[in-house]
Amino acid sequence: MTDAGSVRVAAPAKINCFLRILAKEESGYHQIETLYNAVDFCDDIELHRTERGVSVEVVGPSVGPDEENLAYRAAEALLESGGMTTGVHISLTKNIPVEAGLGGGSSDAGATLRALNVLLGEPFSADALLQIAGRLGADVPFFASGAGVALGWGRGERLLAIPGASVWPVLLALPSLQISTAEAYESLNVQECVAPASLALDALAQPDTLAELATNDFEASVFERHPELGALREAMHDAGAATARLSGSGAALFGLFNDRAAADRARGALSASWADVRFVVTETMTSQPEPIPTLTSS
């Protein structure tokens, strides 16, 4: 018999090409409308089957105790959901900064769900994975879906994948500042948020339309508390970005460019003026990386 002895998967960051906060529920959760785009800037995950329990080893920035690690929680939730007694060891190499609005923890969780399903012989359907993902966090279903681009609404857990989307060169600006999502929501005035624009889904595949739609309702409150981020966004515009926005609740920003050479030039110019900010040139993805099993024969 041939089984997967281990599974590797890249867990990409995301940007929100638009993010609108529509309302706050009595439960405290917020209703949103957003366009998720996966970008080729990834954490690396490898899963190994063990006899029992979940363990995790992290290389890179600390993400807190194991029990708070979303990859750990995802593996635990999937095993419990299936009533499985087998275990898994997670090796996680962190490249995506924490509390940056790039979805690093959620991506780790979604990628872990997909990879662990492969490791176990795919006993869970795609819908079952999404149900588990929805219990872990608002952004996790997007990453568990494997889609490269998706419209999200509700709390972010309701998704519609967008086929045929354009691939954009992206310049990520990664300040050392960290902003927790909870902090960003606490400072948000929903009444001042931008009203949702009507859109045709096929328009999301058009670069010019996407640049026009780009907005983020967190920007007003985040830039008021951290004006340097607003100045950085303007600098990215001035450096040639078709649009530049805060990603999620920040503190990372992204710029979309018409070609890779323009993004590279902008990185050079901005790096000279913003020495305390890391700039990364990458691109949006049409789909997320598939888990890759290492096969063992028995």
Distance of CA 238 to the CA centre of its chain: 26
Burial class (CB in 10 A: 0-12, 13-18, 19+), 32: buried
Cβ pair 279, 172 in contact under 8 A: yes
């009203």: which residue's tokens? 195
The answer to whether 267 and 90 have CB atoms below 8 angstroms apart is no
User: Catalytic pick from 14, 43, 44, 217?
Assistant: 14
Amino acid sitting at position 77: A
Percentages (nearest 5) of helix, strand, coil residues in the chain:
35, 35, 35
Q: Which of 127, 139, 202, 217 is catalytic?
A: 139
Edge-first strand order for the sheet with 243-246 is 243-246, 253-256, 169-175, 277-283
How would DSSP label each residue in 139-193? Answer: SHHHHHHTBSEEEEEETTTEEEE-TTPPP-EEEEEEES----HHHHHHT--GGGS
| 14 annotated active-site | yes
**Catalytic residue annotation:** 14, 139
